[in-house]
Amino acid sequence: MLRRKNTVQILMFVSALIIYIFLFLVITSSANIPCNSDSDCPWKIYYTYRCNDGFCVYKSIDPSTIPQYMTDLIFPR
């Protein structure tokens, strides 16, 4: 009986692990967002965006290079 209980626990753990790995892969995958102009691209913090060849292209920005007045606009105190 104890062996069967351990087997069930192992199977439940493995299935939960597979679900979490799948969710992580879905969340981290990037999708190509179609656009006609720069204003069609969704805004992301610390990224610049452009519409290039009909798809949104994002480029990361180093947060330390953003001037203080702009960070106050994004994150009011």
Alpha-helical segments (H) within 1-77: 2-28, 68-74
For the cut 80, the answer to whether the pLDDT of residue 42 exceeds it is: yes
d(CA 50, CA 63): 19
Residue boundaries of the structural domains of the chain: 1-30, 32-77
| pLDDT range class, residue 32, cuts 50, 70, 90 | confident
pLDDT at residue number 26: 63
CA distance from start to end of the chain: 60
Length of the chain measured in residues? 77
| pLDDT category of residue 36 using cuts at 50, 70 and 90 | very high
